[in-house]
């Protein structure tokens, strides 16, 4: 396992412990970070880079502030929590068709 992946997983476990949740399964991984399902049926995404974290966090905050739950027929996850120190976002889990990745938006 690469040092970057180890760092992401350690940060994910750290924030999960802080928030009192468990990581139950890995939902996905990519160049921006990894996403886990949690014990409270949410998704926790931990980012590799701060710029993509900030961009995606801010997109989810704007979507939440404007009560956007669907966009052109696609479900949009709702922001539940975030942590700037570990670059983590917790969001609701949605079913397809859905829009998930706003890191490059």
End-to-end CA distance of the chain: 29
Identify the bridge partners of residue 81 per DSSP, sorted by sequence position: 90
The three-point CA angle 20-25-27 to 5° equals 115
Q: What is the tens place of the pLDDT at every residue in 3-16? A: 776 889 999 999 99
List the domains of the chain with CATH numbers. 3-92 (3.30.200.20)
Give the per-residue pLDDT at 66.
96
Q: What is the mean pLDDT of residues 69-76?
A: 90
3-state secondary structure string, 7-74? HHHHHHHHHHHHHCCCEEEEEEECCCEEEEEECCCEEEEEECCHHHHHHHHHHHHHHHHCCCCEECCE
């Amino acid at each position: 396992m690469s040092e970057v992946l180890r760092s992401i997983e350690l940060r994910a476990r750290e924030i999960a412990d802080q928030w009192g949740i468990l990581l139950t399964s890995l939902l996905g991984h990519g160049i921006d970070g990894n996403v886990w399902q949690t014990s409270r049926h949410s998704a926790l995404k931990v980012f590799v880079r701060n710029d993509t974290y900030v961009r995606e966090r801010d997109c989810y905050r704007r979507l939440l502030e404007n009560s956007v739950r669907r966009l052109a027929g696609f479900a949009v996850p709702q922001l539940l929590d975030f942590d700037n120190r570990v670059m983590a976002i917790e969001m609701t889990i949605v079913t397809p068709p859905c829009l998930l990745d706003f890191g490059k938006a």
